[in-house]
Amino acid sequence: MARVDGCFHLASAVGVQLICDKPLESLLKNVRGCDTVIAAAARHGVRLLYTSTSEIYGKDSIGSLTEDSDRLLGSPQKGRWSYATAKVFGEMLAYGYAREQGAEAIVVRLFNTVGPRQTGVYGMVVPSFVRQALGQEDLTVFGDGSQSRCFAHVFDSVAAIVALFENDEALGEVFNVGASMEITISELAQKVIERTESTSQISYVPFEEAYEEGFEELGRRKPDTAALEHLTGWRPRLTIDDAIDDVAAFMRSHRSEAVQFAPSG
């Protein structure tokens, strides 16, 4: 850490499947990793940007979420919430070092970042759907598909992260990073089929069959990015269509590595 100009802490044990199947592993890896990296950056006076997650808002599905929105988590006995708890721990470390020791720390909360090279191994929905569509398999939608998300292309997310990292006014603050266009998971599945020109159909699987005990689904997840836009002038340039096309193009060009995109278990 002493030899670098800045630190982007992007690493995380992530994915709904991993969180539900191995909540302890997810919790310990994220907590210990955050402690190690954030403390080292503070100790050496290195500017750090810590990537948190929209998961920290929990089950709050009312309108667009601002950085100050209340958090509504389920029971700590539910494995799903181990990830949100671990990421909040990282946020609070960053805030603590910034406010009490003057460390240069910035927190961003990512909302469903997608794009080429992302895999569906741990339940990432866009690469999972694209892989199934390219293989002419049924697209597996968990639940009734009415749950909605906002997907941001990775190129837009990276642009936002870099803009914040380079802005001194962002120090000690937290920012949502994501797109604002909502789409239901059923609509997403249909869009993937259309854009990949697949003959696939959509198969609906109840949540209780898809996940182990401890899973709780979220109805909506939409970011308010006014703070980011006001400080940096950032606006998303790419759409979910662009993300689907880029993921499909990458998978088509890496068919020999298809094992990377197969679902776990």
Task: Specify the DSSP element, H or E, that contains 48.
Answer: strand 47-53
CA distance 68 to 216: 23
Kindly indicate whether the domain formed by 6-261 is annotated with CATH number 3.30.390.50. no
Question: What is the per-residue pLDDT across 39-49, written as a single tens digit (0 to 9) for each?
Answer: 999 999 999 99
The mean pLDDT values, 10 residues at a time, for the chain of 265 residues are 96 78 85 95 97 90 87 82 90 95 96 91 88 96 91 98 98 96 96 98 81 63 96 97 97 70 38
pLDDT of residue 166: 97
CA distance 202 to 174: 38
pLDDT of residue 208: 65
Distances (CA, A) of 54 to 101, 126, 151, 154: 27, 17, 12, 15
Catalytic residues: 83
Torsions phi, psi for 182 (to 5 deg): -85, 150
Q: In this structure, how many other beta carbons lie within 10 angstroms of the beta carbon of residue 63?
A: 10
Question: What is the per-residue pLDDT across 129-152, written as a single tens digit (0 to 9) for each?
Answer: 999 999 999 999 988 899 999 999
Please tell me the pTM assigned to this model. Answer: 0.89
> Which of 135, 143, 131, 228 minimizes the C-alpha distance to 179?
228
HSE-up (13 A, CA, CB side) for residue 112: 23
Is 105 in contact with 143 (CB distance < 8 Å)? no
pLDDT of residue 209: 65
Domain ranges of the chain: 6-261
